[in-house]
Structure 1
Amino acid sequence: MNALEIKKDIYWVGALDPDLRIFDIIMNTPYGTTYNSYVIKGSQKTAVFETAKERFLDEFLERLNSANVDVKNIDYIVVDHTEPDHSGSIAKLLDLSPNAKLVGSAAAIRFMKAISNKKFDSIVVKDGDTLDLGNKTLQFISAPFLHWPDSIYTYVPEDNILITCDSFGAHYCSPKVFNDLNTDEKGYMDALKYYFDGIMGPFKPYVLEAIDKIKDLKIDIICPGHGPVLRKDPLRIVNLYKQWCTPAKPGSRKYIVIPYVSAYGYTESLANKIIDGIRDFGDFEIKSYNVIYSDMNEIIENIGKADGILFGSPTINGDALKPILDILISLNPIVHGGKVAAAFGSYGWSGEAVKNIEARLQQLKMNLLTPGLRINFKPSEDELNSAYEFGKSFAEKVNQNSSEVLETPETKPTKKWKCTVCGFIAEGDTPPANCPVCHVDASKFVEV
């Protein structure tokens, strides 16, 4: 399969991986994927965008050759994002392209030094910077955390093409490459949403910031890093991203999710009394799940929407039970940090489940109500009353947490702090104690 022309002197030169079924350890890829790379041949300079996973190097080089690109004459290798599925062949391409300069954000260049383990010439680009290829211009748009700190977009104004790497992509492999030639719309849309949820979903505020930056551009084609090139109605996918990222207007009712497991009904009875306490405290929307009879994806999705989460588990063999632990390891501090959370459960003789759950909640940087509720074996009437009061205390903490995060013109932070390691921007009167992305301490932040 040769290179495919997108517009005059702009080609797709990526690689197809139709048999891939697991990506990045945890993502299912029933439709395979592609590793999209592009080359732009200007009248004076030639630029290659990304490369392909290392094991597809030969396929990638063959496509470059079919586009009449001599690798020795490549001037720029633009890395919109340095994850190895895109940058895996860059080190070898640099060996073949001695005059090429690597172009990317400051984070991208730093990451590439550690990925390639070699010296190379580079150009660090910032938001609004441009590179002249002769009759074509590369205009760079900073788009951090989509989904790494290094990410940028590249716009070609002469051709109205936007190159976005992981944004607007999908793990979906079709040999026809272009979306207007795809015949399985349902499969593609399933892959698109699954990809968004797994990769872009944790970074919704950054997605919206990036969409705002490109809203006034004339865009004929979007060239993502995975899946079909969006030659037909590319803004449809942009608008879907915006829709998926825009939170529903908040109602007056706070939302609490309670996933639990119960071996003999003791922990379940605690859950029911906790719910009674929450309801008697105020008007909350509550969703409880006996996890072994519930859909894991639904639970995790609703935890993402929740203001508060209560995790219930008995103790067996010195720990919480696997269904609850599976939920906990599916969460992350970027999405779920700051939510109110607590643990409860019945135990026989040791009772480690609640403390172990709390340890994970602390790792997730949640706002804990402690100590959690631990009851020995079957709860008595007095202990059920303790569960009721625990529910009221939890509801009160959810209300307090919600009021604390509301910003008014008088209370909205006026300072911004940049992590010098990964580029994360935080707002507040002081820098955060730890970067939520790379976890360095406050000393690594500078005011911007």
Structure 2
Amino acid sequence: MGKRITDKVTWVGKVDWELKNFHGQELSTKKGSSYNSYLIRDKKTVLIDTVWQPYDKEFVSRLKKEIDLKEIDYIVANHGEIDHSGALPELMREIPNTPIYCTANGAKILKGHYHEDWNFVTVKTGDSLDIGESKLVFVEAPMLHWPDSMFTYMTGENILFSNDAFGQHYATETMYNDRVDKEELYAEALKYYANILTPFSSLVIKKIKEVLALNLPVDYICTSHGVIWKENPAQIIEHYLKWADNYQENQITLIYDTMWNSTRKMAEAIAEGIQEADPAVTVKLFNSAIEDKNDILSEVFKSKAILIGSPEINGGYLHSIGGLLEMIKGLKFKEKSAAAFGSYGWSGKAVKLLTEELDKCGFKIVNDGHKSLWVPDNAEIEVLKEYGKDFVKAIQ
């Protein structure tokens, strides 16, 4: 059965404790997730979003226990991505003529996904739907994180249905932000922002300021993944404004791949030099071949500077580093410094190539990087420590 949020609003989604990867294999979700759908009962009955496609039959079956489907007057599709709209085909087979409120882009995307010409009603910012004692006010939020995304605000209940914004891939049966582990919650919220929303940070700031300017009271932020923000819901808005503003902590992250441990030894020596030069800075090391790529990207998001290392192979660098750099490039991090390092045996091209790639990623390049021939000996280890110290001085 659904979970009552207010007298008028009930959660009717799905908690997915088993989910470990999302967007194909692109995003790790080690804490699971939820697909949050909401049923509004006023003089009119409205369904806000559905759930991911694998759970479509379960969703419709459970929804039938909550309400006679024919009593649903309207459906609101805040976003057409399949994790939110996936149960629509199963639902629309039961109530085929029910109006679906979405943006113009939303209608195009839903048609592109399901090849059905449902009863779409397109809306734009400021449009509203009178449902009785309350109204639903629509606010377009393009590229947060798809072109069709929008928020829906419910007057009277003071609920912002924010879809992907302010969410987390975080499974919980307790539903509200004040009922879960706060550290886990914010770690997952930051990971979600860093890996999905970072490229759109300027739009995040603009849209939040636009919504805040409306002076709408917000008692709940009902996301599409993870918790509902009930206790001081503005706290996640404040974090988003901070994260969107070229966020960084006093942290330097070293990311490397290694074949025979030479590059690993380089990374450890550079890290030691960094820590000696600045004991206050947090230094973290990650082997990109064995660590979770999305966790690494979260640490890059938090860092003021990074160093990327790889041995040379076939005139280039190792594929785990190449894949990670491609993801970093897409996330468009701003105001971060970087340099490259790596071991080599003959031509020694990898460090130069890595430096060029870091430049393409938008990092401020600190120096030409450092390469070590074969396995670093004690003398070279000392050189690498000095390189770490110099790196710190260059970014202060």
How would you bin the TM-score normalised by the shorter chain?
Answer: 0.7 to 0.9
Tell me if structure 2 keeps the 8 A contact 1:27–1:198.
Answer: no
User: In 2, distance between residues paired with 1:37 and 1:159?
Assistant: 17
Q: Which of 1 and 2 has higher RCO (CA within 8 Å, sep 6+)?
A: 2
Measure the CA separation in 1 of the matches of 2:225 and 2:295. 26
Tell me which amino acid in the other structure corresponds to 1:170: Q
Whole-Å Cα distance in 2 between the matches of residues 266 and 191 of structure 1?
A: 32
Number of the residue aligned with 1:412: none
Map of 2:325 onto structure 1: 328
Structure 2 Cα separation of the partners of residues 89 and 32 of structure 1: 19
Matched, 1:313 2:310: yes
Match of 1:218 in 2: 217
Alignment partners' CA distance in 1, 2:286 and 2:45: 55
The structure-2 alpha-carbon separation of the partners of 1:374 and 1:237, relative to structure 1 and needing over 3 Å to count, comes to closer
The equivalent of 2:98 in structure 1 is 100
Alpha-carbon separation, structure 2, partners of 1:191 and 1:377: 42
Picking from 187, 191, 200, the partner of 1:194 is 187
Aligned to 1:83: 81
One-letter amino acid matched to 1:36: N
Matched, 1:168 2:166: yes
Unaligned stretches of 5+ residues in structure 2: none
CA–CA distance in 1 between the matches of 2:185 and 2:390? 41
Question: Is the contact between residue 337 and residue 363 of structure 2 (CA under 8 Å) also seen in structure 1?
Answer: yes
Secondary structure class of the residue paired with 2:317: coil
Which amino acid in the other structure matches residue 89 of structure 1? A
Instruction: Note the residue ranges of structure 1 that are not aligned, 5 or more in a row.
Output: 277-282, 400-448
Distance 1:250 1:303 in 2: 10
Conserved in 1, the CA contact under 8 Å of 2:312 and 2:350? yes
Q: Displacement of 1:112 after TM fit?
A: 1.4
Cα distance change on mapping 1:369 and 1:111 into 2, 3 Å: farther
Find the residue that maps to 1:62 and give its secondary structure. helix
Matches of residues 395-434 of structure 1 in structure 2 within 5 Å?
none
1:38 maps to 38
SS in 2 for 1:196: helix
Contact kept, 8 Å, 2:53 with 2:87, in 1: the verdict is: yes
- Name the residue aligned to 1:15: 14
CA contact (8 A) 1:33 1:226 kept: yes
Deviation (angstroms), 1:107:
2.8
Q: In structure 2, what is the equivalent of residue 47 of structure 1?
A: 46
1:121 equivalent in structure 2: 119
Q: 1:247-272, CA deviations, whole angstroms, 9 ceiling, x for partnerless residues?
A: 67999xxx976655675869977998
Alpha carbons 2:103, 2:124 under 8 Å: kept: yes
What amino acid is aligned across from residue 195 of structure 1 in structure 2? E
Alpha-carbon offset, residue 121 of structure 1: 2.9
Q: Deviations along 1:196-235, whole A, 9 cap, x unmatched?
A: 2232234344443343344321122222112233444433
d(CA) in 1 for partners of 2:343 and 2:185? Answer: 42
Distance 1:306 1:178 in 2: 30
Aligned length: 383
CA distance in 1, matches of 2:211, 2:97: 32
Q: For 2:163 and 2:54, locate their aligned partners in 1 and report how far apart those are by CA, in whole Å.
A: 19
Q: Which residue of 2 aligns with 1:238?
A: 237
Which among 132, 136, 140 is matched to residue 138 of structure 2? 140
Per-residue Cα deviation, 1:124-143 (whole angstroms, up to 9, x for no partner): 22222212224331101223
- Percent identity over paired residues: 31
TM-superposed deviation, 1:76:
2.7
Query: Does the aligned pair in 1 maintain the 2:151–2:160 contact within 8 Å?
Result: yes
**Structure 1 residue 344, shift from structure 2 partner:** 4.6
After TM superposition, the score normalised by the length of structure 2 is 0.73
The verdict on how the C-alpha distance between 1:178 and 1:74 changes in structure 2, with shifts beyond 3 A counting, is same
- Give the C-alpha shift of residue 60 in structure 1: 1.9
CA offset digits 1:145-172 (Å, max 9, x no partner): 3333322111111221211112233333
CA distance in structure 2 between the aligned counterparts of 1:30 and 1:392, rounded to whole angstroms: 37
| Deviation sequence 1:163-199 (CA, Å, 0-9, x none) | 111223333334454556x4xx32xx34422332232
Q: Rate the CA distance shift 1:222–1:371 in 2: closer, same or farther, 3 A.
A: closer
Q: Distance in 2 between matches of 1:377 and 1:22?
A: 37
Change in 2 beyond 3 A, CA 1:110/1:352: farther
1:228 corresponds to which residue? 227
* Paired letter, 2:78: D
2:161 match: secondary structure: strand
- Specify the alignment match of 1:433 in structure 2: none
Select between 361-370 and 308-317 the one with higher mean Cα deviation: 361-370
Correspondence 1:152 to 2:145:
no
Q: CA deviation at 1:104?
A: 1.9
User: 8 Å contact 2:254–2:286 — kept in the other structure?
Assistant: no
Q: What are the within-5 Å matches in structure 2 for residues 256-295 of structure 1? A: 259=255, 291=286
Partner of 2:206: 209
Once the two structures are superposed, residues 84-125 of structure 1 have per-residue CA deviations (whole angstroms, 9 ceiling, x without a partner) of 111111133233222223222233222212111222232222
2:206 match: secondary structure: helix
Report the Cα distance in structure 1 between the residues aligned to 2:249 and 2:64, rounded to whole angstroms: 54
Question: How does 1:169-184 map onto structure 2 within 5 Å?
Answer: 169-179=167-177, 182=179
Amino acid at match of 2:138: F
Q: Which residue of 2 aligns with 1:353?
A: 350
Describe the SS at the equivalent of 1:64: helix
1:37 CA drift (Å) = 0.7
TM score, norm. by length of structure 1: 0.66
SS at match of 1:153: strand
| CA offset digits 1:310-329 (Å, max 9, x no partner) | 53333145542466446535
